[in-house]
Every structure is written in structure tokens, then in C-alpha cells.
Amino acid sequence: MLDPKAVDHIAMLARLELGPGDRELFARQLGAILDYVATLKELPTDGVAPLAHAVDATNVFRPDEPRPGLSPDDALGQAPGRQGDFFSVPRVIE
């Protein structure tokens, strides 16, 4: 089980306000998490390459090639307000 002072420090860092019963509950839960991490540290990982993802990930993006965009009439066809080739919106800043 984690020391209550450590739980208070972690709660302060996380900007959490703990109630009276929370301190003991979080001490048990955080202690269990740290015990599990200690168990994982005992596993043999020699020869295992570090991974960024659990599965093999490949880039699925298409090549970045220029292509024609929308014409101003197509882009602004459904716009509620229009001034020339631009959207017209209500003024927000005075």
C-alpha cells in the first residue's frame, strides 16, 4: 500500500481534491498498479525490439499531389452569407 503522504502529493500534482475516504482507496489502488508494474518489470525482454504500436502500422495516406480544388461558386454555394469570393459572417469583435 502506498504512503498517504505520497497519495496527497500525487493528488496535488493532478489537481484532485480527495475526500476523507478517498485517500485510503487511492493508496490501495495506486499500490496495486505499482505492484503490477513491478511484476511486468520481471518479464524477460531481452531481444524484444521497442515498439511504438502493438500491431504493425503502416502509412495509409495517399501521396500529397496537387489537384484542382473547388471553384468559389461551388465552395460558397451553400453559404448563408457571401461577399465576393469570401464567406460573410457577423462581426464578433467591436
Residue 1 to residue 31: CA distance in whole angstroms: 5
Residue 27 lies inside a defined structural domain of this protein: yes
pLDDT higher than 90, residue 90 = no
CB neighbours of 6 closer than 8 A, spacing ≥ 6? Answer: 27, 30
Average pLDDT (68-84) is: 91
Residue 9 has pLDDT above 90, yes or no: yes
Containing structural domain, residue 11: 4-41
Structural domain contains residue 93: no
On whether residue 34 sits in a domain, the answer given is yes
Residue at 30 is within a domain: yes
* Average pLDDT value over all residues in the chain: 89
More confident residue, 56 or 32: 32
Q: What is the CATH number of the domain that holds 27?
A: 1.10.20.60
Does residue 32 contact residue 58 with C-beta atoms inside 8 Å? Answer: no
In a domain, 18, yes or no: yes
Q: pTM for this structure? A: 0.49
Count of domains observed in the chain: 1
The reply to whether 54 falls in a domain is no
Distance (Å, whole) CA 29 – CA 25: 6
